């Protein structure tokens, strides 16, 4: 494939950053939901929509509510929220794997084509943010009442069907479910899945929009498709998934976000007249389980755990910093975790997705090193929870400076700040609105 020219997306000097962010979200709005990127991601993605709703909460309460309501309109009967809801007005071959790949055996609502896997559960937190910032409080309270039971069902699915390790944490069953698709933490498991000579079964549309040097390799994609096919062909059932399924992992980012969102559900429950104590207890229990299962004492950082082998995966990444968000994490673990932001692996204006000293670090290849707005934003929120305002502000300013210099990119070279991935990316715009506020 021919080399793609570098995208030029720098914002003009003096640009009103908030206005520019609103323009990106307006351009990517499709009437009931926002696409992450008009060219590369032409459908609705789960955690993207949660981040978009958080940004929209500052500027358009109605659109923020509709964003999440549309996503949860495709919730499965078992409670899971699929990672993609396919737009019926978009050609089926515009993205791979598309609706035809995921459809067999998928127990979804009528006329809603979705994928069969999930993404990190930021949604309860996004729902609370909408209420917290609402101008129309009555409409926002009604929105909480309508969202409460679907959110409970979503969390119940994760904490029951996905507690595959039996220790109170939710397991992910595909690298895509982490939201950090090709992170080096998954390399060992993905390599074991890869059949010799496996190839991607269709042309990769992503390489028409983004240079191959900034995307996962073909071998990774072949493993992703193989793993998704296995899960699809067993009807997306989580029953008896071990030991035959090739990827079952307890991820610190996923579970920290779940604990944080359980905390948000407690606040929502108090508003709608439900039992908030139950959610508070679950949030605290998740934080304790996170520490017991995923805190690596040698690294002083949270790391994933491979449930199949029952051992931690000692790869230091940004996901290991996100548990700063979670309630129930002991103070000493939080102090050691925060200290990584001053060391050679993570210090700097931009927060990489992988420790810079790792031999696998690549500052421009997708989740193998670049800085992303959403993981930076999650860590900022975690630092603020621990009143570490100086570190939080440094990360906030670093990200905003990169956006001013390079535009609303999918991600940024963590060393130089150069924009990478696709352009006019929705969650970058949405989270800039929140950081500016």
Give the residue numbers annotated as catalytic, written as ranges.
Answer: 181, 410
**Are 70 and 30 in contact, with CB atoms under 8 Å apart?**
no
Q: Which two tokens stand for residue 371?
A: 């800085």
For residue 312, the cross-strand partners are 305
Q: In Å, how far from its chain's centre is CA 406?
A: 22
CA distance 256 to 319: 9
Instruction: Name the region of 412 (left: φ>0; alpha: ψ -120 to 50; beta: rest).
Output: beta
DSSP string, 412-428: E-TTT--EES-SS-HHH
- Give Cβ neighbours of residue 269 (< 8 Å, ≥ 6 apart): 148, 275, 276, 278, 279
- Backbone phi, psi, residue 133, to 5°: -105, 5
Query: Which of 232, 247, 225 is CA-nearest to residue 96?
Result: 225
Place of tokens 């944080």: 260
**Which tokens sit at 100?**
């035809």
Rounded Cα–Cα distance for residues 317 and 368 (Å): 9
Which residue, among 282, 290, 301, has the nearest Cα to 256 in the 3D structure? 290
Nearest CA to 34 out of 407, 435, 430 is that of 430
> What is the SS3 assignment for 329?
coil
Q: Using CA atoms, how far apart are residues 123 and 129, in angstroms rounded to an integer?
A: 10
Alpha-carbon torsion, ordered 367, 370, 373, 375, to 10 deg: 50
346 and 340 Cβ atoms separated by less than 8 Å: yes
Spatial distance between the Cα atoms of 56 and 288, rounded to a whole number of angstroms: 33
Q: Which two tokens stand for residue 336?
A: 């050691």
Location of structure tokens 């991601």: 41
């Amino acid at each position: 494939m021919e080399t793609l020219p570098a995208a030029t997306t720098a914002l003009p000097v003096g640009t009103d950053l908030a206005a520019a962010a609103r323009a990106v979200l307006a351009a990517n709005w499709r009437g009931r939901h926002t696409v992450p990127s008009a060219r590369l991601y032409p459908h609705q993605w789960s955690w993207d929509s949660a981040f978009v709703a958080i940004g929209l909460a500052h500027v358009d309460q109605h659109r923020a509510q509709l964003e999440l309501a549309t996503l949860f309109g495709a919730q499965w009967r078992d409670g899971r929220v699929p990672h993609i809801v396919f737009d019926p007005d978009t050609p089926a071959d515009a993205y791979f794997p598309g609706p035809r790949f995921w459809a067999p055996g998928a127990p979804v609502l009528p006329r809603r084509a979705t994928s069969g896997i999930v993404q990190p559960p930021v949604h309860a937190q996004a729902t609370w943010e909408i209420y917290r910032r609402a101008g129309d409080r009555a409409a926002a309270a009604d929105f909480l009442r309508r969202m409460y039971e679907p959110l409970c069902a979503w969390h119940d699915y994760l904490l029951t069907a996905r507690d595959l390790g039996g220790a109170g944490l939710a397991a992910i069953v595909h690298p895509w479910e982490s939201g950090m698709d090709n992170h080096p933490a998954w390399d060992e498991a993905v390599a074991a899945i890869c059949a010799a000579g496996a190839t991607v079964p269709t042309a990769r549309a992503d390489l028409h929009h983004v240079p191959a040097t900034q995307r996962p390799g073909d071998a990774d994609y072949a493993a992703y498709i193989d793993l998704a096919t296995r899960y699809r062909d067993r009807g997306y059932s989580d029953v008896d998934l071990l030991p035959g399924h090739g990827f079952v992992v307890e991820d610190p980012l996923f579970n920290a976000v779940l604990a944080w969102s359980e905390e948000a559900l407690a606040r929502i429950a108090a508003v709608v007249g439900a039992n908030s104590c139950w959610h508070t207890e679950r949030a605290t229990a998740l934080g304790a389980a996170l520490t017991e299962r995923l805190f690596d004492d040698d690294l002083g950082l949270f790391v994933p755990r491979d449930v199949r082998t029952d051992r931690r995966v000692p790869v230091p990444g940004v996901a290991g910093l996100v548990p700063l968000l979670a309630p129930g994490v002991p103070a000493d673990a939080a102090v050691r975790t925060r200290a990584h932001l001053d060391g050679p692996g993570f210090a700097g204006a931009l927060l990489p997705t992988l420790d810079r000293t790792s031999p696998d670090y690549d500052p421009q290849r997708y989740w193998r090193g670049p800085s992303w707005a959403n993981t930076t934003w999650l860590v900022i929120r975690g630092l603020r929870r621990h009143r570490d305002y100086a570190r939080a502000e440094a990360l906030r300013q670093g990200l905003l400076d990169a956006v001013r210099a390079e535009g609303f990119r999918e991600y940024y070279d963590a060393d130089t700040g150069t924009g990478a991935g696709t352009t006019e990316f929705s969650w970058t715009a949405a989270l800039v609105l929140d950081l500016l506020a």
